A and B are shown apart, each in its own frame.
Chain A
């Protein structure tokens, strides 16, 4: 019987079975940032424990960094204390820190792949639930809490229960104007926000085979929004080509042997899965959320579901969503007025996202009264976008071009919604209050749909706004 990639990576990293039946799993690569690590370093100090493998932890700063005034000290003294604490902890432990002045700072899930740290057949952990992003390379990547950040720093391992594996196949071609973001929003809508509980998701099928590495990252990123802690795609030539020549990828001399090793981790053709679901890419349209969790989504040309159209179990959350979003069931989502357009986040702030939007936005202006911000995922992405002239296209259209960070995905820096502003957002979570204002409203969508909303001032079909067919 064949094995899945998950089985193979799990076996290669199993240290031992613990007495309680859990597995002590080696975490080969650990990524940290300023929000969930300081308490972990504090715990290590209390326990008088050193960092076991400092060279296997990499740090950057993303959640709290301002995206406009980036000089230190930051105007927010708490944010300033957090970056200083991370700097101190990295210095003391000898951990590589992609700091503000490095030219490599950015959202941790964008920096890891960009630097070639994220590799196939590895285990990765980070105190951030969107760590699932790294699964796009055929890694098994876990979002963890701060006590587990401590565990990984002190022992390079965690205690885990092995999940089941569900293969999610998407086959066929996506129509123009339909993107990886729509694929994952569709999967979450179909399987539910808790459908992945206890599962790792393996994404496969011809749609994924054709996806670029960055498109795969967008899908894996939001696995957690479907309740799956881990999501991955089997590594292939697309993955190996992406990694070649990146700073932390194997050197040219070692590359062929690395590729041979990486290939060996891919799921066997006769691998056994706990569950398999299949979707047809041609059934997927541009998708937008209407509610307060990412599963509350419709195609752009559909109406907001009425309670009667929903399963009984989903109705109370729907009622809560109508009230928070100030939307009326049965009405089209298209045409809903937008106050803010946010292009950014670990889901959709890579160079290919910005290129795709700029291609259509060129020569257009965002609607008067709409605030539009573009926050590149890393300083690396920003530099490339500036060199390619993309930043100018965004500025000319009326977007603010900002520095790299998490920004308005979660409003831990000064970029927040105000009052009940409605934001067309390329991010991953539409939870109540997520974008920094308790009454703020978030509508999730692909980057091009964000641009369409910015141009028209309302939730729009990008295919119509930009003439795609």
Chain B
């Protein structure tokens, strides 16, 4: 299984402000009634973007100036709540390839890395400064440099951090752990054999 090596990401940005944006908001539970992830992209932030009659509400993602944006900017504790992978799946299938936020909830972070969608942590003031630059020039692409821990727009750059292990798996194209986990099943079996509650017979 060969995965893309992800070290540079270029794309236009969109800022969805707010702290503690939970995964119910990213993908309302009623859209999880499915047996594949196909088609989830259109429901990303659905109740924030559409009213009960399906009409668009004012929302950055509905704003034509930011149409086609592939980098999402957000606040603190993004992706908190439910462990549903449907949330990062919906964002990825909507077209997002990276998220920049002040902090991320842990399960959401891991789910996103497994999809090859980096979640980089930035200072809150830098996020708002970057959002202001995007608002001035929504067509200008951002460049995320994963090894260099930086995001830049035109000639302005900001620190954007990933933990070392996440950086490494993205750069090496090993962001989906399954290949590593399958590599040594004998070691798995010998660990299991030492634990009485795991009846392996």
Contact = CB atoms under 8 A, between A and B. Distances in A.
Interface of A: 12-16, 18-22, 24, 26, 28-29, 35-36, 38-39, 42, 47, 49, 52-53, 55-56, 63-64, 76, 78-79, 81-82, 85, 119, 121-122, 127-129, 131, 143-148, 150-151, 154-159, 161, 193-194, 197-198, 224-225, 227, 229, 258, 261, 292-293, 313, 316-317, 320, 410-412, 429, 431-434, 436, 438-439
Nearest to A35: B32
B70 interface: no
Interface size class for chain B? 35 or more
B29 interface: yes
Contacts of A21: 164-165, 168
Interface string B76-95: 11001111111010000000
24 contacts: A12-B195, A20-B180, A29-B197, A52-B185, A52-B188, A53-B192, A63-B29, A81-B35, A121-B197, A154-B178, A154-B181, A156-B188, A157-B188, A193-B20, A194-B20, A194-B105, A225-B81, A227-B106, A293-B80, A411-B30, A412-B33, A429-B22, A433-B24, A434-B29
B176 interface: yes
A148 B114 contact: yes
Contact of A56 (B29, B88, B182, B198): B198
Nearest to A129: B83
B2 interface: no
Contacts of A293: 20, 22, 80
Given A154-B178, A194-B20, A438 B52 contact: yes
B184 interface: yes
B33 A432 contact: no
Contacts of A35: 32-33, 84
A39 B192 contact: no
Question: Of B20, B163, B164, B195, which is in contact with the most chain A CB atoms at under 10 Å from its CB?
Answer: B20
Contacts of A431: 22, 24-25, 81
Given A146-B86, A197-B77, 16 more contacts: A15-B184, A28-B198, A129-B82, A129-B107, A143-B107, A145-B84, A146-B85, A146-B111, A155-B182, A155-B188, A159-B177, A193-B77, A194-B20, A293-B80, A410-B82, A412-B32
A438 B81 contact: no
Given A38-B35, A431-B22, A432-B47, A145 B107 contact: yes
A193 B187 contact: no
